[in-house]
Chains A and B, each alone.
Chain A
């Protein structure tokens, strides 16, 4: 196949459905999702609660599989991958940012940030050096050895972002990254996403917050499991 478009697709889904069986009744949570996210773009997926945002994000993040359809991530046919390959894809191609941060409470900032690299078999010295660099870049140079409880929500989310980008993934997936933050911290986090985007990361932010979405600019709407361009 000859590529006519010079911009590559980071995400390409074809006719994805997600159906949950619920007491014998089929519940279609995602309905014929056709989504293309080009490399280097920064988009918001906006929708009300229960519209299927997290379900979509789990599929895009290779944590879940659709009931029907095809999914290509960085050109890889993800649905053909086995469990180990999926783990490898999550490690190398994707960085996750969650609403509840999901930092490990008994580890300090450096230890939390370096985890994805450790699981890639890289030595501790190298991992921790990279973790320190990432934390410095996100303005946490003076909080390197703080544990999550000793950090504010905004700081915790920045540690989580550092963990997401330490492997230098093509795609950063964020599910309600500002959902637990006050407006000042939210703005800081959004600023960081813009910076990461400028450095070339493809970013998908999932939100139900109109303001956050508008700040990002490019918005895809989701309602009852269906995508709308506007």
Chain B
């Protein structure tokens, strides 16, 4: 009679029992299990932290550039200091001839002491056209913003960044509206305070700056021999490149002596992309370190599993003799490896959480995320599957007779 007529192969060890047998084994070798998981713990914690640091860097970059419109193009002198052939207000007007550009206006930046009553602040001011406020999404917290009339009338008005107003008034920014401050020893009346932008380390941050009308700055602070920067706004993101080409063309025309090469044309979108790119590169670099750690820990798991298989050779022979199938032996060892690495992964994530104050200490920005947890645990489990498979497969392939004879 053929065996397939009589023997029905369908009875397998219950999964619950399988897990129970494995857990028994794991906990009867606590020391060994701990040493095996150590690598996985470190690897997973690293992955988790790396993802947190990466996310932190990314959100820092995004925050820094949040106030900046991606269509903004900044044209400035390539070299610092007084220029022989500076940009002019006429250049800005010319830029508007390009159909790709919506706004273009010059601005000036300067540093100097800002004084209010007996408070003094080493700050900066920006001389702007009113459109600047629109492009940079500046809104007022108290008072009003600069308007076209302030520009034409050369009004000696200033609107202060929130932090600046806050510092000068010792925590009561609204009170300064209507009062006089001196900027580089020139008197200006504060007509408003802007809403807080957020990140004071932002390169384009105006939280601690005073904004004054361009015409007033020229008349009272800087004179007409200035070296302005021109802020242009492309119609939309897709026209940024054409707008830059138009700007180059116009500058070549108007500044025949040096051409457009003496100016630096930067667009916010590409510098944002560059910053994001470098944040991503950093994450990727750290992540690959973590992956290497996990691979090394996986090799550790593999070694320990080989030792386990060797130690339990006789047991495997016995199990095969009493009717355990190859698959059952395979899954027993494979799941053991996976469980060990999964536990290591979970402990690793917990350790990662515990290590976060350390990042604070080093002033590293970070952001814990579900993605980091999932990535860490997934990676550790995959490590277990990958490196646990070969020893498990070896175990299941053992010849029962030789295994039984093993001492």
Contact = CB atoms under 8 A, between A and B. Distances in A.
B289 interface: no
Interface of A: 58, 61, 63-64, 72, 74-78, 80-85, 87-92, 96, 98, 102, 104, 106, 115-116, 118-124, 163, 167
B404 A88 contact: no
Interface residues of B, number: 36
Contacts of B12: 119, 121
Interface stretch (B144-152, B319-327, B333-341): B319-327
A119 B321 contact: no
A133 B213 CA distance: 99
Contacts of B9: 84-85, 87-88
Given A77-B2, A121-B12, 15 more contacts: A77-B3, A85-B7, A88-B11, A88-B325, A90-B321, A90-B323, A96-B321, A98-B404, A102-B321, A104-B318, A115-B322, A118-B14, A118-B17, A120-B323, A123-B14
Given A63-B400, A106-B24, A87 B320 contact: yes
Judged by DSSP, the binding face of B is: helix
B1 A90 contact: no
A77 B404 contact: no
Interface in B297-331: 314-315, 317-328
Nearest to A164: B322
B11 A121 contact: yes
Closest 3 CB pairs of A and B: A91-B323, A81-B3, A116-B322
B401 A63 contact: yes
Interface string B1-31: 1111011110111101100110011001000
Given A106-B24, A124-B17, A83 B326 contact: yes
Given A88-B9, A121-B14, A76 B3 contact: yes
Contacts of A64: 401
B324 A119 contact: yes
A127 to B, nearest CB: 9
Nearest to A107: B24
B398 to A, nearest CB: 12
21 contacts: A64-B401, A75-B1, A76-B6, A80-B3, A82-B3, A83-B326, A85-B3, A85-B4, A88-B11, A88-B323, A90-B320, A90-B321, A91-B11, A91-B322, A98-B404, A106-B24, A119-B12, A121-B11, A121-B12, A122-B14, A124-B16
Nearest to B21: A118
